[in-house]
Amino acid sequence: MKRAKPSPQVPLFGAKPVAPTVHAPTEAPPPEPVHPQPERPTPAAGPLFPQVLPPPSPRRAGIQPVPPLPEYLALRETLPGGLRMGTSSWGFSGWQGLVWADKASDERLSREGLPAYAAHPLLRAVGLDRTHYRTMSAAELAALAAQVPADFRFLVKAHEDCTIARFPGHARYGSRRDQANALFLDPGYATDRVVGPAVEGLRGALGVLLFQFAPQPLRVLGGLGAFVDRLHAFLGALPPGPVYAVEVRTPELLGEVYADALHDLGVVPAISAWNGLPPVEEQARLLQIERAPMRVIRWMLQEGYAYEDAKDRYAPFDALVDPDPVTRAAIARLVAHHAGESIVILNNKAEGSAPRSVFALAEAVAHRMRAG
């Protein structure tokens, strides 16, 4: 896709406009809802002379969804029309009985499970995490959009090369470990490899394009003022049209200077429930979310846990191991009476099972709406 050249903008935050460049591709709440789990009947002893039965009917092709529970169908009708909730990715075999009717591997679910996921009445959005680790073509994204209903939305995470100032020492970065990132906040790269394919491939299914900044020391980002100016120039140089959101996990950034830079461009300051960040309602205050065109909230991690520790504790992600009614009630308060659109994405590492967290949050939102 060939992008239109954005018109120059006069920055309001002290940075010169960034000229896009083209780069070669690079690599009190309600009680917890209890979802019934299917019971396994004990096989009865067979007769002495077994009856000869006809061959079984052929199995249905593809991943089959769990039949929708009547209470979830009724619950969906009570929720705000602009609220879309979903999970961070979808390929988890532990969700059998919650989302999938049958057993399947994580790999198969990742490839084939999206239509079954999108058939659930309470799962009206999904966080597309794979785009954070590698860019995807418009054709790949169009193939995903073709698998979901018209009112379904994707939250697309931008490729991490856009948002890492210096690559971490993790082995997956190879020769780039501990090196400065030349593509950091480069609007040309973001336009060509992130925005363009998402807009062309997902079309109306694109809900929001999220730039997530991992925890990074403020000095690595260049300091508060320099980072905010550069971020403002970067966002201002992106093509108009999509809803952009920014999520930062460096708590020192959360405040008026950062919030004003985003609101000046109509960019959504995303709220993240993440270890080390303020509670979600405090973030909402700091980020002045009442000024935003949409509410984007991601419940990612239980407070006090490292990501890998939570992953080990909660696998296979089929139960609420550490319910967090305080965060759940806070998110419900932020979206229950919001007149505009809201996208809320929940991770397995928030409470132990992302689908169960969605079900519980839906109950909490409905309870909040009934309470007024």
> Which pLDDT tens digit goes with each residue over 198-211?
999 999 999 999 99
- For the stretch 263-287, pLDDT in tens is 999 999 999 999 999 999 999 999 9
CA 119, 120, 123, 126 dihedral sign is negative
Q: Please write the tens of the pLDDT for every residue from 102-126.
A: 999 999 999 999 999 999 999 999 9
Q: What is the pLDDT of residue 60?
A: 59
| Per-residue confidence band for 42, with pLDDT thresholds at 50, 70 and 90 | very low
pLDDT of the residue at 10: 39
Q: Hey, how many other C-beta atoms are within 10 angstroms of the C-beta on 270?
A: 27
pTM for this one? 0.84
pLDDT at residue 159 is higher than 90: yes
For residue range 247-261, list pLDDT tens digits in order.
Answer: 999 999 999 999 999
Q: Which of 12-26, 164-178, 271-285 has the lowest mean pLDDT?
A: 12-26
Q: What is the pLDDT of residue 47?
A: 42
Q: Which pLDDT tens digit goes with each residue over 292-347? A: 999 999 999 998 999 999 999 999 999 999 999 999 999 999 999 999 999 999 99
Over residues 57-84, the mean pLDDT reads 89
Angle, CA 246 vertex, CA 243 and CA 248 arms, to 5° = 165
Question: Residues of 71-88 as b/e, b for ≥16 C-beta within 10 angstroms?
Answer: ebeebbeebbeebbbbbb
Chain-centroid distance of CA 144 in Å reads 15
Is residue 198 within 8 A of residue 239, CB to CB? The reply is no
Strand, coil or helix: 317? coil
Residue 360 has pLDDT above 50, yes or no: yes
What is the spatial distance between Cα 194 and Cα 206, in angstroms, rounded to a whole number?
12
For 101, 155, 203, 359, the CA distances from 121, given in Å and listed in that order, are: 15, 18, 22, 10
Instruction: Tell me the HSE value of 39 on the side-chain side, using a 13 A CA sphere.
Output: 3
Q: How confident is the model at residue 58 (pLDDT cuts 50, 70, 90)?
A: very low
Grade residue 168 by pLDDT with cuts at 50, 70 and 90: confident
Map out the domains of the chain as residue ranges. 70-371
58: left (phi over 0), alpha (psi -120 to 50) or beta: beta
Q: How many CA atoms lie within 13 A of 17 on its CB side?
A: 11
pLDDT for position 231: 98
The alpha carbon of residue 204 and the mean position of all alpha carbons in its chain are separated, in whole angstroms, by 17
| CATH number of this structure's domain 70-371 | 3.20.20.410
User: Which DSSP letter does residue 12 get?
Assistant: S
Residue 7 in this model has a pLDDT that exceeds 90: no
Say which residue, 266 or 40, is predicted with more confidence: 266
Out of 50-54, 81-85, 93-97, pick the least confident: 50-54
